[in-house]
Every structure is written in C-alpha cells, then in structure tokens.
C-alpha cells in the first residue's frame, strides 16, 4: 500500500472512532487496531496523538475546501454562499471527517483548529463581498452551520425532507 493511502486509511480510522465512540476513545492503540496496522506503522505517519489530530484537521479542512470550491460557479451574486449550501447538502456523509476533526481538536487542543478557522474566515470574507447584503448572507451561512451542527450532535428534530426544503430556501434567498 502506498504511503499516502496508508495515511488516509489511518485518518479514516481515527475519524470513524471519534464519530462512533467519541473523542475519549481516540487513542493511538485504537487507531492502529482499527486500521489493522502496527502501532509502529501508525507512529511512522503520526508520531503522537496531537499529530494524528492535526492530520485529521488538515485532511478535513482540505476535503471541505475542495467540496465548497467544486460548487463555486461563475460570477453570479451569492456564488460562495450557494457553494457552501450545496457542499453541506451533497457531502453530508463526507462531512463526518470534518465533524470528527473538530470534535477531536476541540477536546484535545483548540489551537489545532487553526486551519479550519482560517478557511471559515476566508469563506466569510467571500460571502460578505459576494453581492448580497453582508448581514443577510451571514445569517444564511449561520443557518447552514446550525443545520450541520444539529446533525453533528444528533439534535436534529427535522426529517430529511424538511432539511432539503430549508437548504432549498436558503439557496433561493442567496440568489436574490
């Protein structure tokens, strides 16, 4: 297996552990066992738990950035907000990697969240200067974030049909 593939496999194992069992279950031994590699093999890629979590955050950040970028279309008003909405809608399952990275970093060392914080600041800057009223655009972005956070913490009290209707409405509002 190529070095990059093994690294990705380890990150998936770490994300799965956080998503299924919680942050407290994230140990180097648990990740090695889940990924079916030796602890030495894990330590080759991540020399400690903090490096593993930073790798998880960096991987999640790049994944989320790529997902949003893939929906930025043309020069129309609100394109960044619409891309943010569509990435949230279409990549719900893949966004679990972002979720696990945030939870792991939050529970261990908030400073590890710096790449995601920088990405969100960049998106906020784009969203505020994308031709919509900056306050309205920010409200729409925060609504999308709230929907995502409700999913993360299992607080969603709406079904998938309502979730889609909310995202559709936000997208329509962001194209005015």
Q: What is the pLDDT of residues 52-75, one digit of tens each?
A: 999 988 988 898 899 999 999 888
Report phi then psi at 48, rounded to 5.
-165, 175
Which residues, other chains included, contact 139 with Cβ-Cβ below 8 Å and sequence gap of 6+?
none
Q: What is the mean pLDDT of residues 122-134?
A: 94
Rg of the Cα trace of the chain? Answer: 18
Count of structural domains, the chain: 1
Q: What is the mean pLDDT of residues 114-140?
A: 94
- Whether residue 176 has pLDDT greater than 80: no
pLDDT, mean over the chain: 88
How deeply is 81 buried, as exposed, middle or buried, from its count of CB atoms within 10 A (0-12, 13-18, 19+)? buried
What is the pTM for the complete model shown?
0.83
- Confidence band of 18 (pLDDT split at 50, 70, 90): confident
Domain that holds residue 135: 3-173
Q: What's the CATH code of the domain at 56?
A: 1.10.357.10
pLDDT tens across 145-157, in order?
999 888 877 787 8
Sign of CA dihedral 172, 159, 99, 114: positive
Report phi then psi at 22, rounded to 5.
100, 165
Residue 10 near residue 45 (C-beta atoms within 8 A): yes
């Amino acid at each position: 297996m190529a070095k990059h593939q093994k690294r990705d496999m380890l990150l998936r194992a770490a994300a799965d552990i956080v998503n299924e069992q919680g942050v407290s279950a994230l140990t180097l031994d648990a990740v090695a066992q889940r990924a079916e590699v030796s602890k030495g093999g894990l330590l080759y890629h991540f020399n400690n738990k903090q490096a593993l979590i930073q790798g998880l955050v960096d991987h999640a950040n790049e994944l989320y950035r790529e997902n949003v970028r893939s929906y930025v279309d043309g020069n129309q008003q609100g394109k960044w907000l619409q891309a943010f909405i569509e990435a949230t809608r279409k990549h719900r399952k893949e966004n679990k990697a972002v979720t696990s990275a945030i939870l792991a970093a939050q529970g261990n060392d908030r400073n590890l969240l710096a790449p995601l914080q920088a990405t969100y600041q960049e998106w906020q800057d784009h969203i505020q200067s994308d031709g919509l009223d900056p306050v309205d655009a920010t409200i729409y972005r925060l609504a999308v974030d709230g929907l995502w956070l409700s999913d993360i913490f299992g607080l969603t009290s709406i079904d998938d049909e309502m979730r889609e209707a909310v995202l559709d409405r936000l997208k329509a509002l962001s194209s005015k």
